[in-house]
Amino acid sequence: MASPPSPASSASSASSRKSVDQDRPQTLEDLVTHFVASKRSLQTQTILWRANEIVTSARQLLEENAVLAAKNSSVRTIVDEQVDSLEAVRRGIDVVEADVQAEFKQLLHDLDTSFAGLKSTLAVLRETPIESALQPPDTPQKHLYDFIDNTTVTALEHSLRACIDRYNEARSSLEESTDAFDTALENLHSSIDNVPKTPVTGSTPSPIPSLYHDLEGHARETAQAFQSLVRHYDLCVTALRHTEGGAAAVTQATGDASLPSGDDHGPPPEPITEEERQEMLTVLGKDAQEVEHVVSEIREHGSEMSYLLSQIDNHITHLRSEDSALASILKMIANIAAEVKGHIATSRGFHSSWLEDTRPMLLNGIEEWENQREFYERFDLAYAELLVEISSRRRRHERAKRKAEEAQKELDRLHAEDERAREQFTIAQGDFLPLDIWPGLRDPPRRYEVRALPIAQEQELEDRDEGEDLDLVAKSIPQLGRNVVERALVRVKRRM
């Protein structure tokens, strides 16, 4: 709207408006109508007040936006770092469990292999009978397995099973711990994914500064528009004061003394010429046509400012929701971090149990199974070599017996020869030699014999004759079948 009347403003208004009645003279009735409309337009002051409130609220929200945006960004960075740390701990627990489990499976495989070898050896012992020639008569058939003490095998097997059970219990505890850890991390990730993300526009982190700038522009234009209404109102008052009967006409039209007094608007107006008055009325008439447009413009600015404030408020609501959700995330992280100590302790306990109990026990079991398998294989081999040795002893005994018989025959022949020679000497010279010339002159020759010396368990047979002695010695060395000895030789050669 125009300022106080001037030729320039009048020319501008006349060129921009094409109303038919814009140049007609303004009557008192017209002036009263303009005054009433102008006074009514000043009710838009409430919009101006609201605009001021909106700007004040928006300024506070702008400050809050800066604080919350910085805080949320910082908290998100902290959350990302904490989640990375928790994930690193979880991966570390996985690495420990995977390494232990891989070595456990390998040692268990080696243990099973060793135990299978031992069982195979024991099966051989169960299937290897003791030759009946080595046992007393009427003795039930025995096998090599009957001569071993399997309590060591049984005890070690039970010990290893108990060790594996302890390992499984420790691993079960670790799995329960890691499952709880995984659940906590899944809940944490789900909560993080559900944290509301404040919308952004383009490359601008926050739309509020731009919205606030637009809002200030609307407030400024609202204030300028309202000032033009005030100036128009003042012009209406001035015109009525310079028009005869103006105050009475206002009172009649409005029902009250609506025309402000001079005390309210400064001193009474200075007298003006009729030409100046007509020019003022012309400007007034043209400006009066813009009142409704300006009022509508103010209302539009007010509505736009309310909309912009709602946009700012919505963005701040998002930031507040994000802030609240991130605060909850930090609490969750704190709770998980407190529980992580227990998860780490469980992992350490599992690893310590593996290093101090399970692993040494399995290694010892593998070594013990191998040692026992080797021992029982040596036992089986020793039995095969025993059969070969018995056969060899029997052959050596037979050879010695033959040599003894040959020697005995030679001694008997020498004894008979000595006896005949003595008899011939006695016949030839006996009558000529006195008996006391040599006490042994008539003694018989000494007899020698070859016989087996009695062994400790045969002392009671020492006085028996030679034939019986030799038969007992022969019976103490079993006579094994040829096929038995040959099988034993094959087993010995196979294991050499």
The DSSP-derived string for 35-94 is: HHHHHHHGGGHHHHHHHHHHHHHHHHHHHHHHHHHHHHHHHHHHHHHHHHHHHHHHHHHH
Could you tell me if residue 309 is inside a domain?
no
CB 449 within 8 A of CB 411: yes
CA 323/CA 220 separation, integer angstroms: 33
Could you tell me if residue 82 is inside a domain?
yes
CA 103/CA 109 separation, integer angstroms: 10
pLDDT at position 201, please?
42
pLDDT at position 456, please?
57
CB 326 within 8 A of CB 76: yes
Give the SS3 label for residue 204: strand
Domains of the chain: total: 1
Amino acid at site 64: E
pLDDT at position 266, please?
47
CA 108/CA 366 separation, integer angstroms: 9
Which residues in the chain land under pLDDT 50?
Answer: 2-21, 201-203, 257, 262-266, 461, 464-468, 470
Could you tell me if residue 382 is inside a domain?
no
Could you tell me if residue 47 is inside a domain?
yes
Per the structure, the complete domain to which residue 56 belongs is given by 7-299
CA 310/CA 125 separation, integer angstroms: 94
Could you tell me if residue 356 is inside a domain?
no
CA 131/CA 401 separation, integer angstroms: 25
Query: Can you spell out the DSSP letters for 437-471?
Result: G-TTTTPPPPP----PPPPGGGGGGTTS-HHHHHH
CB 110 within 8 A of CB 366: yes
Q: Is the pTM of this model over 0.75?
A: no
Residues 308/313/317/318 CA torsion (nearest 10 deg): 20
pLDDT at position 353, please?
95
Could you tell me if residue 23 is inside a domain?
yes
Could you tell me if residue 361 is inside a domain?
no
Amino acid at site 32: V
pLDDT at position 269, please?
60
CA distances from 142 to 83, 90, 146, 222, 460 (A): 70, 60, 6, 119, 30
Closest C-alpha to 248, from 257, 260, 236, 239: 257
What confidence tens digit (pLDDT) does each residue in 321-364 have? 999 999 999 999 999 999 999 999 999 999 999 999 999 999 99
Closest C-alpha to 38, from 298, 264, 230: 230
pLDDT at position 12, please?
38
Could you tell me if residue 78 is inside a domain?
yes
Query: Can you spell out the DSSP letters for 143-166?
Result: BGGGGS-THHHHHHHHHHHHHHHH
